[in-house]
Structure 1
């Protein structure tokens, strides 16, 4: 059995008037993340961690922001494609551990819905997806509410 780990990190600016997508769901807020796709920072770090674990480069390699077909795309579609790439290579997802860094809005009330959505997209149990949230105690770009950051580690397995 081959066991591999991967790590992902991403940030997005927050801008007034944009929809805020996180973990595959839209969260009501005055500001949303700016990006070429729907800017779902949580899905992006999970994609990067999974791709890295399988040594398949990164999200920008597979879905470049210079390609108009990805403009405004639902990041769940990107995640689905990443999972397909892993399965083609014989990997299954063991677990995902992630952290979202954000001052506002509060993320904790939305975690169960995000877990359910991500589990459905990836075809894994929601219990295998850990999502945690923290602030930066008003320090840095996250603390000033200028952006959102996220981290993820994953475990993938090939029998």
Structure 2
């Protein structure tokens, strides 16, 4: 009794296993990519809003100081108003989900906000905080070696008797 089998199936056996594995891996990767993408989006979105909240709080604090002093024609006031205006333009919802044809460039707007913040700090004579969330090279660069070291706010004394209970 002769067994009839198709030699074509044997020739394509490796390709069949490859195609099946690829399809399964692609579907699995799509699910995990979606989950990881959402998690990364939440993390980066939180970082971006944390940065914007800092800038807005900084500007509103200085705006209150200048308002209390009755100064409204100063360069700093102009920078404060412009910074708050730029922050107000920042979208509150995901622009790709809300409007697919949105021409908003979030990174450009973020750079404009950072630049206006640095200009405001320069006008006020305040050292800008290094809190960039955009991932630009200057965002994560360490302070230069020749910069002055920061002094602690409170003097800490190393007194062993003070530590006893």
After TM superposition, the score normalised by the length of structure 1 is 0.32
Structure number with bigger Rg: 2
After TM superposition, the score normalised by the length of structure 2 is 0.31
Report 1 or 2 for greater relative contact order, CA contacts < 8 Å, sequence distance ≥ 6.
1
Q: Which of the two has greater strand per residue?
A: 1
